[in-house]
């Protein structure tokens, strides 16, 4: 069943949920509840990423205990299964891209490390960024009403991604040299799409060639040059308008 999300506050709960049980909100969710000034008896919605959502109510504010009420079979996923292969951009630009891509219905996000990127990630810093982006995806689901949390995959070099890329009905790379139109490459609803977008300085020539050898078709988004944090989101919105759920 597909319904529009209500204005009732929504919280992600990373465990099994059952009607009639009493659970405690996670520390981040409890902090969010405090920011919203929720009081005992307040109606909320819980979801655990497995599909559907639970009506619930806040019982106490001290420990933020919640009574789980009825489960509802609600789906708000896109008809398109898009994996966004995003060149890691700097600071808030990448955070913004992750957040808005989730709102636009992306099925998964694969951050890739590229030669011209301003960001260099490795070791513990890469792990911390990975966890940070997954938290942003969860928060975006809480806000936009999705009940299935897109996976943010661990960052890879572009070369490593191309070696292990999953099959897709369409593979698209956003490129200033592209001559094809996005609308001409959109497969039927339900098909898997891999959409590659570069960081601030874009993919270099060798990386575009690598993507093309991996089956990616260069596509240009109109006559204007779009910023990194605009390009992928514009393409996602266009895909949704052509064959998704817009």
Weakest-pLDDT range from 114-128, 163-177, 178-192: 114-128
Between 200 and 153, the higher pLDDT residue? 153
Per-residue confidence (pLDDT) for residue 7, from 0 to 100: 83
- Is a pLDDT exceeding 70 seen at residue 20? yes
- Domain end point (choices 37, 72, 107): 72
Do 98 and 173 belong to one domain?
A: yes
Per-residue confidence (pLDDT) for residue 39, from 0 to 100: 92
Place of tokens 């205990």: 65
88 within some domain: yes
Per-residue confidence (pLDDT) for residue 4, from 0 to 100: 60
Do 92 and 47 belong to one domain?
A: no
208 within some domain: yes
Place of tokens 């874009």: 202
| Structure token digits, residue 163 | 């070696």
For residue 234, give Cα distances in angstroms to 47, 69, 138, 146, 240: 28, 39, 22, 20, 10
Give percent of the chain with pLDDT exceeding 90.
70
Do 164 and 112 belong to one domain?
A: yes
95 within some domain: yes
Per-residue confidence (pLDDT) for residue 228, from 0 to 100: 87
Do 109 and 25 belong to one domain?
A: no
Do 129 and 233 belong to one domain?
A: yes
19 within some domain: yes
* CATH number of the domain residue 26 falls in: 2.40.240.20
Do 154 and 62 belong to one domain?
A: no
Supply the pTM of this predicted model: 0.91
Going by C-beta distance under 8 Å and a sequence separation of 6 or more, which residues neighbour residue 212?
Answer: 173, 218
Per-residue confidence (pLDDT) for residue 5, from 0 to 100: 62
Q: How many domains does the chain have?
A: 2
Q: Are 235 and 179 in contact (CB under 8 A)?
A: no
């Amino acid at each position: 069943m597909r319904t529009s999300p209500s204005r009732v506050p929504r919280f992600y709960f990373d465990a099994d949920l059952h009607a009639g049980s009493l659970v405690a909100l996670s520390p981040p969710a409890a902090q969010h509840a405090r920011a919203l000034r929720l009081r005992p008896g307040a109606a909320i919605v819980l979801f655990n990423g497995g599909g559907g959502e639970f009506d619930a109510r806040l019982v106490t504010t001290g420990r933020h205990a919640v009574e789980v009420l009825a489960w509802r079979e609600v789906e708000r996923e896109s008809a398109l299964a898009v994996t966004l292969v995003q060149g890691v951009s700097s600071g808030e630009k990448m955070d913004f891209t992750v957040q808005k891509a989730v709102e636009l219905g992306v099925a998964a996000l694969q951050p890739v490390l590229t030669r011209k990127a301003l960001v260099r990630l490795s070791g513990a810093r890469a792990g911390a960024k990975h966890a940070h982006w997954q938290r942003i995806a969860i928060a975006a689901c809480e806000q936009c009403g999705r009940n299935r949390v897109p996976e943010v995959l661990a960052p890879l070099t572009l070369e490593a991604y191309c070696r292990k890329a999953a099959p897709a009905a369409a593979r698209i790379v956003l490129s200033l040299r592209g001559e094809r139109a996005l609308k001409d490459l959109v497969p039927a609803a339900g098909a898997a799409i891999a959409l590659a977008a570069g960081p601030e300085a874009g993919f270099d020539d060798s990386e575009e060639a690598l993507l093309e050898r991996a089956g990616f078709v260069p596509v240009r988004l109109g006559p204007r040059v779009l910023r990194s944090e605009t390009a992928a989101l514009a393409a996602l919105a266009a895909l949704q308008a052509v064959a998704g759920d817009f």
